[in-house]
Structure 1
Amino acid sequence: MDSDERRRHLGVYLAGLRRAAGKSQRQLAALLCDVSGTQSVTRTEVSRWERGKRVPDVWLPWLAQLLGVPVREMERAAAYARGDVWASLPGPSASLSALLPEGDPLRPTDVTGRRIGAEEVAGLASRVHALRLADDVLAGGDLINPAFRELGSALALYRESSFTEDTGRGLLVQIGELGQIAGWIAADAGRLGDAERAYRIGLDTARQAGDMPLVGNLAGSLAYQWSNNGREQDGLGLAEAALHEAGDAAPPAARALFCDRVAWAHTRIGTPQHAQAAMRALGQAHEAFGAETNAETPAWAYWVSREELEIMDARVFTELHRPLRAVPLLTHVLDRYDTTHGRELALYRSWLAVALADANEPEQAAAEAQRVIALSCDLSSDRTTKRARVVLARLQEHAAVPEVQHVLSNYGHLLR
């Protein structure tokens, strides 16, 4: 792909973001002038960017702010247009669909390829787990291209190879696990459509493999996405179905995770009846985690711990406006949380900031807001960006407090 074509690709990407934000070229130009404090951007200049005539290098931070995408994602899109290090990766507007075959992604090809066995399945499992571990310390924008390429390659391996029944089942399980982590990464990058597609591919393969706990994990992941993005009732129904489909024999860590997702789905609906159901589900999560069983914990549940259950408890308490229960839990866990997990620290501190504001501790809430924004600024994570805005919006009620006023004066523009 030559430089002109890469710039056109960037232009299509920018135009799509602008339309999704409901802005005309003229309106975007005016907003760029407003946030930058200059008058040098015109509608004609925006048009040049979208036609691939120029790359808006100096305007990238403000474009990211106004169009609601992480700065680093915008910078990578521009780097791709310039032919920099990302030129070998899928373009900025590439979707998961563009990397997959038409129709059934598991349909075998007419030509049978090489025969594979347990070694290839083990290699794929190792790469899938490496993606999970990378997701602990990197954000979705950093990992989305590798995750999508890995999922496309795994599907191609299944379609184009020959293997025994046991090897085929092992491949299906790993594709299901890959669908889950790729979906999670895509959602963190703000690519919700791609995330849902990855989850659905994973669900199909996990069901074919007969791995019901994995089915529950995939369904629960999609339920979590729905609950957080305007489909609260659908999210609850799917979260409950995930718990039911996994069954009572699911390993304790997996069942605890599924109960937590049910709790969160009830919380997002937020009525008194659902609040009570959320509290019951939290209790069930702790009971499940402490159950004695011979079932082996699946690799994808390695991160589920008492500490993470307490984090979900505190998030639910915060959303239900019970700060006296949320603040001690969050403070206790955050004091010993792994500092390499920057995204999670930003997210969890965002709930602490809101809980402190609810507890009428605006000075402490402002201090936490500063930490959230400091942690988020270098993360290509749609989740942390949205949570930073939630915190800033919550602080507006305390705008007269000097510490809050300072935060809002420095970062209030993020709410525009």
Structure 2
Amino acid sequence: MTSSTVTSSQPHRPPRPNLAFRRLRGRRSPAEFAAEVRRAAREIGEQVSCDARYIGRVEAGEIRCPNYAYERVFLHMFPGRTLTDLGFAPRSAVRGRAARPVPPDSPASPAFPTGETREGPDPYDPQDPFETYDNYEESDVLRRAFMTGGGATVAAASLGPFGLALDATAAPRLGHRVGSGEAGALEEAVRRIRLLDDRHGADGLYRRAAAPLRAAYALLDAGTTRQTTTDRLHSGAGELAISVGWLAHDSGRFDDARSHYAEALATARMNGDAGLEAHAFCNTAFLARDAGRPREAVRAAQAAQRIARPLGSPRLMSLLALREAGGWAGLADRTGCEQALARAQALYERGPSDADPEWMSFYGEAELEGLEAQCWSALGDWPRAARHAARAAHLQDPHFTRNIALYTAELADDLARGGHPDEAASAGLRVLELLGEVQSSRIQTMLAGTARVLLPHRRASGVSRFLEKHASLPRTA
């Protein structure tokens, strides 16, 4: 069997921070800057899944030279500059180790002609078209054991395998201690799941995410040689449990979601990871609200705020206040809800900070508006709910296709219940157009409720068209 160890032709040296790139980010948070990178990519027809952690890796010097897709995006963002101006090393210096023979029986790639070498990523290695990896900067363990690629299509149901290639028992059989390559692959798997959920919704992803989660906990059982790697594995496994829990949550599997969130919470407490614990409580509060347990939602959100306060992220505290507001709205406590909403708005206005967790890249003004709309909807204030839902849909970054569908579905329901059937039907039709890209039981359930409210108005032409198109939807199991 071919070894998966990569040997370098250059001696190991600690990464040198990329101060030039950090200066270019300016006062923007890593998450905000990552969103600008994604927007710039779309402007030139590239697809990159840049997030706050990628920006952090660049600024820390871990990515000495970006891959070609990111290079094109960065040079588009900063015209007139070279990669060197942006603080990167020349590509030839980074790739010095990469030109190496590929064994003809290697499981990582098809056979090459005798004596042929390759540099960097295997051009035949199938990859998700929404993701571009810096393969030549990652170990073969990461690329071969975890990132199995597979083609992701527009329809979430036909997404290829995307997570960790190991099954639940494979890690202990590897015959060596788990290292930073596996930890990095685990973190990448979490990002990739979140990216695909943003674009496609949860229904087509949930079952595929079970294998990566089993593999993550198998890695924890295998043991590591360094405490820092152990901490990364615990954090990565916990974040993956939350991501899988969210996929269960959004696809209506509330019991499964509750179990995954509890698993993440236990992992956080075992490792003393306050950030992970706050995240687990945050999602637990959201789930409790959706499952009809509003008092539990309030308690979980308040627990998350106690844990998160020392972390120094006003945006995180803002989101947690919104989770609490949702619980108060479910209890029909308008005063408690309004007070929590006011705190959420004030904390949000303090702006982003370097302490904002990577997983919060979704939380911007659109999400704040959308969650506030849900609060007013729960309180039966349909006009106010509709205003906030419309604003949320308008503000949402096009990258978050699922959220655009969600906010528009919320708008349709609020308009229908507020006595505006034609406008509700129009919004509902916009959601139906997005369902070719998004699979979310949450959104389909909302649309079904809107359709029931609009039935008495079915003689109106716009309403009739919406009801007919809605009735033709394939029913999910």
* Alpha-carbon RMSD: 3.2
Residue 192 of structure 2 is matched in structure 1 by: 130
Residue 348 of structure 1 is matched in structure 2 by: 407
Distance 1:234 1:100 in 2: 33
Distance 1:165 1:222 in 2: 28
Amino acid across the alignment from 2:194: R
The CA deviation string for residues 370-404 of structure 1, in whole angstroms up to 9 with x for no partner, is 22233235533211121111211222354454432
TM-score, normalising length from structure 1? 0.67
Residue 379 of structure 1 is matched in structure 2 by: 438
Offset of residue 223 of structure 1 = 2.1
**Pairing 1:405-416 to 2, within 5 Å after superposition:** 405-411=464-470
Structure 2: which 5+ residue stretches go unaligned?
A: 1-154
- Give the one of 239, 243, 251 matched to 1:181: 243
Residue 322 of structure 2 is matched in structure 1 by: 260
Distance 1:411 1:115, change over 3 A: closer
Q: Equivalent pairs: percent with the same residue?
A: 26
Greater RCO (CA < 8 Å, at least 6 residues apart): 1
The CA deviation string for residues 90-137 of structure 1, in whole angstroms up to 9 with x for no partner, is xxxxxxxxx868xxxxxx98x995223334322322221222122110
The CA deviation string for residues 148-168 of structure 1, in whole angstroms up to 9 with x for no partner, is 111111111110133222221
Distance 2:473 2:179 in 1: 52
Distance 2:456 2:294 in 1: 26
Of Structure 1 and Structure 2, the greater helix share is in: 1
Q: Which range moved further: 274-283 or 367-376? A: 367-376
Structure 1: which 5+ residue stretches go unaligned?
A: 1-71, 77-84, 90-98, 102-107
Q: Which range moved further: 331-340 or 383-392? A: 331-340
Distance 1:177 1:323, change over 3 A: same
Would you say the 8 A contact 1:213–1:250 is kept in 2?
A: no
The CA deviation string for residues 63-87 of structure 1, in whole angstroms up to 9 with x for no partner, is xxxxxxxxx89x87xxxxxxxx98x
Q: Does 1:319 align with 2:381?
A: no
Report SS of the residue matched to 2:178.
coil
Residue 13 of structure 1 is matched in structure 2 by: none
Distance 1:142 1:280, change over 3 A: same
Amino acid across the alignment from 2:233: L
Distance 1:216 1:118, change over 3 A: same
Residue 207 of structure 1 is matched in structure 2 by: 269
- Give the one of 209, 222, 225 matched to 1:163: 225
Distance 1:303 1:340, change over 3 A: closer
Residue 393 of structure 2 is matched in structure 1 by: 334
Residue 8 of structure 1 is matched in structure 2 by: none
Would you say the 8 A contact 2:365–2:392 is kept in 1?
A: no
Would you say the 8 A contact 2:413–2:447 is kept in 1?
A: no
Residue 355 of structure 2 is matched in structure 1 by: 296
The CA deviation string for residues 214-244 of structure 1, in whole angstroms up to 9 with x for no partner, is 2121122122112212323323322222222
Distance 1:149 1:230, change over 3 A: same
Would you say the 8 A contact 2:366–2:393 is kept in 1?
A: no
Distance 1:158 1:152, change over 3 A: same
Offset of residue 170 of structure 1 = 1.7
Report SS of the residue matched to 1:140.
coil
Q: Does 1:217 align with 2:279?
A: yes
